[in-house]
Structure 1
Amino acid sequence: MTEITILFGGHGAERLVSVASAQNLASHAPDADLWFWQSDDHFIPVSHAELAAHRSAFEIAFEPTSKPLARSIDEALERAQADSRLLVLGLHGVGAEDGALALDCERRLIPFTGSGSAAGASGFDKQQSKLLAAARGVPVAPSLLICAGADGSAAAGFLQLHGPLVGKPVASGSSHGLIAIRDPSGLDLLSAASAECDYMLEPFVSGREFTVGVSQIDGVLRGLPPVEIVLDPDVQFDYSAKYLGRGCQEICPADIPDALSGQLQSLALAAHAAIGAYGYSRTDLIVGPDGPVFLEINTLPGLSKASLIPQALAAAGVPFSDFLSEQIELARRRYG
């Protein structure tokens, strides 16, 4: 018999989001085991009561009290394989959303929810996902890749050519590291931020921001109702806005014409297919003067009660428990 195990925590900057996602997942899977992946690569068994009791998950680190059941990712996955476990991934960011964990699971034929390693790697790389989406006919903005440690001459030329820019790490999530570059002074911020990681620059597009989930529902891949992101003036959609509600409103479903809603859903489905995503994903777009433009795709988006996929599922009339059951069934069938 397959043991369902919710895996959460991890290494990345999105560890707090992961705990909040796990709280929601656990509330809909009361019989699942809970494993917390610590930053030291120890895996801690957690009770449902301990996880549910944790407050302010988006702001306060979760610190479980039990002894580790494994002291490395290899040891944890060997145990999962030996126990015939199916892993429900409540993980986000580096080490998980980038396809690394999926690859380790695939090598061991451990079933898991969410996209496979190739799709995860493509989706997490913002430059690569743009190229793949564009090849499927999804409109994208011009961009410039700034490699870690590069001098600022290319960025300065891109700013001169396009005007105000948005800079974001090529491989990150939850809007960590966003930089608004309105004039040459913003290049100093970019230089400091890109000293150790690659950045992607895009022209700033003024318009309405939307996020569109894609999910397998009753055996059919569907676009979920778009959610509009409305920011206060001079506020970026960063971690504080996204998860703490500071200067941001999320309107679900978006108050837009059916034709635009359908167009955004079609683009999200195309982006999902472009990278080979599996089960579910979430695509961010902005609708400017020339129409929708692709921003990025997330293959392991947040699943907390406050996250955008659960909001969109509710707007579509899909209970979160049904969504979770279908993702688990897809994981069971992953290897044929």
Structure 2
Amino acid sequence: MDVSPLGTPDRPRVAVLFGGRSSEHGVSCLTAREVIAVIDPERYDVVPVGITRSGDWVLETARWDDLQGGLPEVRGDLPAFSWDDVASFDVVLPLLHGPWGEDGTVQGLFEMAGVRYVGSGVLASSVAMDKPFTKTVFSAAGLPQLPYVTIAPGAWKTDRERVEARVHALGLPVFVKPARAGSSSGVQQVSSWDELEPAVLAAAELDPKVVVEAAARGRRELEVGVIQQPDGTAVASVVGEIVVAEDASHEFYDFDAKYLDGTSTNVVPADVPETLSERIRTYGVQAFEALGCEGLARVDFFLTDDGLVINEINTMPGFTPFSMFPGLWAASGVPYADLVDRLLQLALARPTGLR
């Protein structure tokens, strides 16, 4: 790759990074296609950089015209991108979801290279990706949660009786999840105890650490977007709701419902009382600040028969024009292209190194 010098203050050089090794590779590619389409080429010099499923970095185009209902993929036969060239960029927009991208790994690379990037730093990204650690921070911040049990790597074999006793205390049904996967990958609902072991083993194929959560009764899935202002203050969007069609074959909001079969709908704003909306917005900002997030995040909640509980936080949420996070901000007065520009400008204004 021929590397041009750093962009000028009037036209910064931007690497849009996407793909990656996680199960959310295709979603990341789709996000990149849509984001690149709205970045003003008169204001930014944009270079698409893809990471293949095997981890190779290549110079991509992010142009997939006819997907025929599927998800795109980074091609491995494209020209290689050298890691040494990262320093030629003024800012990186890492549109990576899941492990090896959203979890602090590439953020650490950018920190070492002294390159600015959009989104949270190493610690916040890592903690937000790891559900048990996220829950620990949420608990310390006083945020309400559902009961859960963490199954440490190897504990299902070495300490199974104790683990099962703790899980059984949650009552049925429960949700079994890989601790560090996104987009509901590997998540299974367990409605009888003979389903527990297959669910744990399946989750452990994606992540040796597994989390088991009590199921929420009568739950509604509510979400809020959080971004930072130029002065660093975190602000929350309107509240949205994920609604899965009653006749859909999904017991919960899984990967297919999110991205593939059209059975879920984003309702923005959600039909909730203003007092509840304000509480969700307040909790969203509290969660963002408790983890030390930067730039952006989407915070997810359940409204259960027993009240409001926080579910998780995503430091790089889905970012197509049809995704919840951009939809929340569009309804809050920030159109898609303006939202992308705000995040780039936030990153460009952020100092490198400790902050």
Distance in 2 (alpha carbons) for counterparts of 1:232 and 1:154: 38
Counterparts of 1:75-154 in structure 2, within 5 Å, are: 76=83, 78-81=84-87, 83-149=88-154, 150-151=156-157, 152-154=160-162
Distance in 2 (alpha carbons) for counterparts of 1:64 and 1:131: 39
Distance in 1 (alpha carbons) for counterparts of 2:129 and 2:115: 22
Question: Does the residue aligned with 2:180 lie in a helix, a strand or coil?
Answer: coil
Distance 1:241 1:102, change over 3 A: same
Q: Which residue of 2 aligns with 1:162?
A: 170
Distance in 1 (alpha carbons) for counterparts of 2:14 and 2:204: 41
Calculate the TM-score normalised by the size of structure 2: 0.86
Q: Which residue of 2 aligns with 1:236?
A: 252
Say whether residues 1:327 and 2:343 are aligned partners.
Answer: yes
Cα displacement (A) at 1:221 = 2.1
Instruction: Out of 231-240 and 115-124, give the one that drifted further.
Output: 231-240
Say whether residues 1:28 and 2:28 are aligned partners.
Answer: no
Instruction: Out of 53-62 and 259-268, give the one that drifted further.
Output: 53-62
Cα displacement (A) at 1:218 = 6.0
Distance 1:192 1:97, change over 3 A: same
Cα displacement (A) at 1:155 = 4.5
Contact residue 200 and residue 210 of structure 2 kept, 8 A = no
Counterparts of 1:4-43 in structure 2, within 5 Å, are: 4-31=14-41, 32-43=46-57
Q: Which residue of 2 aligns with 1:73?
A: none
Say whether residues 1:254 and 2:270 are aligned partners.
Answer: yes
CA RMSD between the two structures: 2.0
Counterparts of 1:256-275 in structure 2, within 5 Å, are: 256-275=272-291
Q: Which residue of 2 aligns with 1:175?
A: 184
Q: Which residue of 2 aligns with 1:224?
A: 237
Deviation track 1:216-258 (CA, whole Å, cap 9, x = no partner) reads 2565421111111122455221110111244322211111111
Distance 1:211 1:58, change over 3 A: farther
Contact residue 147 and residue 199 of structure 1 kept, 8 A = yes
The one-letter code sitting in structure 2 at the alignment partner of 1:160 is H
**Percentage identity across paired residues of the two chains:** 27
Cα displacement (A) at 1:183 = 1.2
Question: Does the residue aligned with 2:308 lie in a helix, a strand or coil?
Answer: strand
Instruction: Out of 108-117 and 206-215, give the one that drifted further.
Output: 206-215
Distance 1:159 1:131, change over 3 A: closer
Distance in 1 (alpha carbons) for counterparts of 2:94 and 2:257: 24
Distance 1:40 1:191, change over 3 A: closer
